[in-house]
Amino acid sequence: MAEEIKDVLEDMTPEGPAEGESALAKAMEESVSKQEVTTTPGWYVAHTYSGYEDKVRKNLEMTIKNRHLDDQILEVRVPMSDVVEVKNGVRKTTQKKMFPGYVLVNMVMNDDTWYVVRNTRGVTGFVGPGSKPVPLTEAEMRPLGIMPARKDGAPVSIDFEEGSTIIVVAGAWKDTVGIAQRIDMGKQTVTINVEMFGRETPVEIGFSEVRRMN
C-alpha cells in the first residue's frame, strides 16, 4: 500500500528549482488561485530537498508557533515506518522515512499559509499539477494512518475511552486486542500496545479501524 502512495506522489512531484535558481524567487512567481483557497483543512504534500524533511518540519512548526497559525496549519508530518535490520545475527527495528523528499501538512489553504509553507527553507513546491497544491484524497490518506475529517465539520463520536479494551477490525493489526492508551481527537487515532519482537510497542490506529469490546 505504501508503494501505491509513493507512485502517486512521484507522478505528481513538482520539478525543483534549477541549479543556482533561488527557491524564493521561484515561489514569488507562483500564487494560490481562488479554486485552491479553502476554509476547511486538508492534507497537502510539500516536496523538499533530500535530507531536509525533518528540518522543514521543525522550521514550519516554529513558524506556526511564532505567527500563531496553529488554527490554520494544524500538523506537519514526516511519515515513518518500522524497518527490521539484521546485523551480526541481531534483529533490530529502526524507523525510516516512508517517502523521502516529502512532508505532509494538514492546513487550511490560503495565501498566508501557502506563503509560509512554500517559502520554508528546503521546500521546492507543493505536490500537484503545475505545483498547484492539491489535497490528498481519502484513499491516499488511509494507508498513511490519517483519518479524513468529517465533511460537515462535526466532532467525531467514538464509543470508547482511554482504558477501554478495543479490537482492531481492519488494517495491518486486524484482530489485535489492546487497551486504549491514548486518544488523539485531532488526528482521529487511538494508541494501543502491540507485541513486536517480544516486547510491547505503542502504535497509532485510526478510529475507523477499531471497535470497543463488550
Statement: 2-143 belongs to CATH 3.40.50.150: no
pTM of the model: 0.58
Quote the pLDDT of residue 147: 57
Quote the pLDDT of residue 3: 53
**Residue ranges of domains in the chain:** 2-143, 165-212
Instruction: Let me know: does 125 contact 14? Beta carbons within 8 Å.
Output: yes
Integer Cα distance of 28 and 48 in angstroms: 17
Confidence of residue 88 (pLDDT cuts 50, 70, 90): confident
Q: In this structure, which topology does domain 165-212 adopt according to CATH?
A: SH3 type barrels. (2.30.30)
Q: How far is CA 51 from CA 100, 139, 152, 163, in A?
A: 7, 27, 38, 39
pLDDT digits (tens, 9 = 90+) for 61-77: 999 999 999 889 988 98
Mean of all residue pLDDT scores within the chain: 77
